[in-house]
Structure 1
Amino acid sequence: MFRRRSETPAEDAAQAVSSEQPKSATQGKGRPTPKRREAEGRRRQPVTAPANRKEAYRQMRARQDAERRRVREGIARGDERYMPARDKGPVRRFARDWVDSRRLVSQYFLPFALVILLATWIPLQPDVRAFVYFAVLTIAWPLMMVGVLFTSIWVAWRVKRVAAEKFPDENLRGVGFYAAMRALQIRRLRFPPPTVLPGGRPVPQKK
């Protein structure tokens, strides 16, 4: 009701100006501080969601196909980043190259077994069929099995011995069996694909 005499008109004007200033101006930023939710929302990129379940399945299949194609191309180049654990390392690479650089009896086992199977299905005269069965079951098949057995044992022993000399500090566990199993496969079906030709020459790069 009564006003103190000490207050002057200049002091009243200063108090009025300070009370009307927004709080954000006193913070020194010149703008209000953004909320955390708003900042995170601006950082997020818009994602186009599939319109329906069929579209989602199609996108998933496309991603899987692209990933499988990338892995196949990487393995074909010999890039060990894309290979399974059993094929990684210098010892396994040496075993593959050692087998792929040779022509072994065991690699013809599957084609030979297919020829025998087809020979038993061909319609023949009874006398001819009896001779074919006798030749296959008593001569050809036992000889092939003995050849495969001895070749597999020799390959496993030889690869492990040479690998021990070349890689004294590496783990050689299973490398002999690994080489023997690769020697049983048809060359064109070996995976990872061979990087050397019989004789040791490198496989020419496809253009």
Structure 2
Amino acid sequence: MFGRKKDESQSQVNVEPVDQASESTDGRKAGPTPKRSAQQANRQRPLVPTDRKAAKEAERQQRIESQNRLRIANETGDERYLMARDKGPQKRYARNFIDSRWMVGEFMMFFILAFLVVSLTFSGNLAVQMYVQVALWVLIAVIIIEAIVTTSILKRRLVSKFGSLDRGVRMYATMRGMQFRKLRLPKPQVKRGASID
């Protein structure tokens, strides 16, 4: 009464979707269509590798390759393999802008080391200690003023060249300007005094 009619149940056939077999060069099938269970079995990968030693070695090789790519990118400036913080045309322009200039901030650590040596050498002389402290505060003020002026010029150039300023580019340029040139990563790609426009 509530069941299906006999002819309807017999007419409905359970058809599973299957992928077509690969075709030959002349457009005909090269062989029988593989079963769905066989295709699924071919695609299955174990969650935990069966050979742990081989998996660990493969992971180690991938890590070494990525480190080598990053090292080469830092030397050549190839943006494909740089870290995310260094990517983008505005960051590249900011790097070149800073690297083409002489910055007082990049020698900050040497000045601080010199002040420390002088203050330790003349620890008993209060006059020298006072001069060292004043010179240190003057140096910090000069570095801050230099960073503000440099990033303001950089901002004007970026807006005129790219139409807008990406977030964090000014701080990126400031931090690069306070690093010694030989220690900067990515390595400088322009010489001092070179025109970058």
TM-score by length of 1: 0.63
**2:78, 2:107 → 1: CA distance?**
28
Structure 2 counterpart of 1:174: 168
Structure 2 counterpart of 1:165: 160
- Shift of the alpha carbon at 1:163? 1.7
2:150 to 134, 146, 155: 155
Structure 1 counterpart of 2:11: none
Q: For 1:44-193, list aligned pairs within 5 A.
A: 51-52=51-52, 56-121=55-120, 124=121, 127=124, 130=126, 132-138=128-134, 140-168=135-163, 170-193=164-187
Compare the two structures and name the one with the higher helix fraction: 1
**1:192, 1:60 → 2: CA distance?**
26
For 1:158, give the aligned amino acid.
Answer: I
CA distance 1:65–1:134, shift in 2 (3 Å): same
- Shift of the alpha carbon at 1:117? 3.2
- Shift of the alpha carbon at 1:147? 0.9
Contact 1:155 1:176 in 2 (8 A): no
**1:125, 1:167 → 2: CA distance?**
52
SS at the partner of 1:82?
coil
CA distance 1:183–1:59, shift in 2 (3 Å): same
- Shift of the alpha carbon at 1:198? 0.7
Gaps of 5+ in 2: 1-28
Q: For 1:1-80, list aligned pairs within 5 A.
A: 34-38=34-38, 51-52=51-52, 56-80=55-79
User: Rg bigger for which structure?
Assistant: 1
- Shift of the alpha carbon at 1:171? 3.6
- Shift of the alpha carbon at 1:134? 3.0
CA distance 1:185–1:51, shift in 2 (3 Å): same
Please say which of residues 76-85 and 140-149 is displaced more in the overlay. Answer: 76-85
Aligned residues: 164
Gaps of 5+ in 1: 1-28, 203-207
**1:159, 1:119 → 2: CA distance?**
36
CA distance 1:176–1:39, shift in 2 (3 Å): closer
SS at the partner of 1:80?
coil
- Shift of the alpha carbon at 1:160? 0.5
**2:109, 2:148 → 1: CA distance?**
18
- Shift of the alpha carbon at 1:42? 6.9
**2:122, 2:77 → 1: CA distance?**
51
Please say which of residues 82-91 and 142-151 is displaced more in the overlay. Answer: 82-91
